Amino acid sequence: MIPRYSRPEMTAIWSAENRYRIWWQIEVFAAEAMGKIGMIPAEDARTIRAAYDADALGEIDIDAIDAIEAVTKHDVIAFLTWAGEKLGPEKRWLHQGMTSSDVLDTTLAVQLKQAADLLIRELDVLLEVLKRRAEEHKLTPTIGRSHGIHAEPTTFGLKLAQAYAEFARNRTRLVAARDDVATCAISGAVGTFANVPPEVEVHVAAELGLAVEPVSTQVIPRDRHAMFFATLGVIASSIERLATEVRHLQRTEVLEAEEYFSPGQKGSSAMPHKRNPVLTENLTGLARMVRSYALPAMENVALWHERDISHSSVERYIGPDATITLDFALGRLTGVMDKLLVYPERMQKNLDRMGGLVHSQRVLLALTQAGLSREDSYSLVQRNAMKVWESDGQLSLLELLKGDDEVRARLSDSELAKLFDLDHHLKHVDTIFARVFAAQ
């Protein structure tokens, strides 16, 4: 966890305080269930639940718990000792027949669910921003580039609609990953419910908003977590894609968009061209990190027999790091896209800089449709296109074609001009926008 790449709400999910509160809930809800099925006195169970409802625990005294743990060398026992002081003699029923993993693994599930909910909320904010900016630039023409080379016109709104659709998919994936990982297991030392019956698990799961883990083995199976972290890796990769787009657009020679730059931002104005896309470069690096966590998560799956504890250290890193970093990255990306400075004039200028060569494909097609062979059409376009190219875009392909007799024999000036019409490329933007945003 790197403070500068952390936000308080997500960080709080991974705090000792939150962890202890979830432990407390699990123990209380378990006792409640045990009371109902007669495993412990019903009266005592109700007392425990009432204490919980009255927030008997109050502020969590982490130092006190740490002090106990220094003696007991056992984190769950230390917590229960401390928490027990808030109760009367009914405290003896806490954790009855349960194992530490029942508490720890279910707690991780709650934390990952909380983290996922937060990330989903952030995705929603990002989607909102992308939608707004996409609508804003729905018909802002810009050159589409394949291989970094000018291809055909598109609109800046379409770029953003693509990003919107991609993050909408990521939202769907994250919901699935959350539901996959949000299970409750209270099943004992090897998952047989030998000392605590399934009813307890069912009750705790319901109270926590988790699904019941159908079959556990002291631990919740780690394929669930692998899927969760792999999904975060995919989302991070999408962040990298959009960040890379911004970095490209901000290059000195392109300059079609810029990360927001407040007028007073220091160190810049003597070199006004030196506005560096540092936020999106930063996002590119953060994406590398989040992606890298998918691998150890997958290696965690093959635990030995009913469980070994090798997954635990991995999760101490990637549980907080992957979710905190992704949360920060989503927030940063949202900020970048929200305030992105967009320069339509420059987009148009870039679009025009090849002297109309980006329309050569349409001319080719038109000549063919006008009855010329593919080869002859090609040759006609080629001889004019090369002149434009050699002039570095100073000559205009349209004008040259108008002056080419063989071309003019097939296509009138107005037909030619129509081939250079940007609207041709924009005519299906509505359809695409309807596809992307309709379902939302």
Query: CB of residue 55 vs its own copies: minimum separation in angstroms?
Result: 28
Catalytically annotated residue among 146, 147, 262, 305: 147
Residues in the chain: 440
Cβ closest to its own copies, residue 50 vs residue 316? 316
Tell me which residue of 245, 251, 243 sits closest to 154, measured CA to CA: 245
Are the CB atoms for 415 and 354 separated by under 8 Å? no
Tell me which residue of 241, 251, 246, 247 sits closest to 350, measured CA to CA: 251
Strands (E), 173-287: 183-184, 211-212, 257-258
Asked if residue 425 binds its own copies (CB under 8 A), the reply is yes
Site string for its own copies, 80-119 (x = CB under 8 A): -----------------x----------------------
Asked if residue 35 binds its own copies (CB under 8 A), the reply is no
Instruction: State which of positions 405-424 bind its own copies (CB under 8 A).
Output: 424
Within a 10 A sphere around the Cβ of 58, how many other Cβ atoms?
8
Piece of the chain touching its own copies by CB under 8 A; list 8-16, 27-35, 124-132, 348-356: 348-356
Instruction: State which of positions 195-234 bind its own copies (CB under 8 A).
Output: 195, 197-198, 212, 214-218, 221, 223-224, 226-227, 230-231, 233-234
Distances (CA, A) of 56 to 48, 50, 384, 418: 9, 9, 84, 77
* Contact residue for its own copies among 125, 190, 342, 395 (CB under 8 A): 190
Alpha-carbon distance of 199 to 228, in angstroms, equals 27
Residues ≥6 apart with Cβ < 8 Å to 367: 376, 377, 380, 381, 407, 410, 411
Piece of the chain touching its own copies by CB under 8 A; list 23-31, 60-68, 266-274, 412-420: 266-274
Asked if residue 7 binds its own copies (CB under 8 A), the reply is no
Instruction: State which of positions 285-304 bind its own copies (CB under 8 A).
Output: 285-289, 291-296, 298-304
Determine whether 147 is an active site residue. Answer: yes
Query: What residues form DSSP beta bridges with 212?
Result: 184
Query: CB of residue 157 vs its own copies: minimum separation in angstroms?
Result: 10
Asked if residue 431 binds its own copies (CB under 8 A), the reply is yes
Query: CB of residue 193 vs its own copies: minimum separation in angstroms?
Result: 4
Supply 294's token pair: 């998918």
Piece of the chain touching its own copies by CB under 8 A; list 49-57, 62-70, 78-86, 166-174: 166-174
Collapse the DSSP code of 250 into the 3-class scheme (helix H, G, I; strand E, B; otherwise coil) and give the result: coil
Cβ closest to its own copies, residue 63 vs residue 253? 253
Instruction: State which of positions 120-149 bind its own copies (CB under 8 A).
Output: 143-149
Cβ closest to its own copies, residue 52 vs residue 208? 208
Residues ≥6 apart with Cβ < 8 Å to 47: 87, 88, 90
Catalytically annotated residue among 6, 100, 238, 268: 268
Would you tell me the crossing angle of helices 100-136 and 429-438 to the nearest 10 degrees? 150
Instruction: State which of positions 379-398 bind its own copies (CB under 8 A).
Output: 381-382, 385-386, 388-389
* Contact residue for its own copies among 98, 111, 188, 324 (CB under 8 A): 188
Cβ closest to its own copies, residue 128 vs residue 179? 179
Asked if residue 171 binds its own copies (CB under 8 A), the reply is no
Asked if residue 38 binds its own copies (CB under 8 A), the reply is no
Long-range contacts at 389-392 (CB < 8 A, ≥ 24 apart):
389/354, 389/357, 391/355
Q: What angle do CA 361, 362, 365 make, to 5 degrees?
A: 90
Catalytic residues: 147, 268
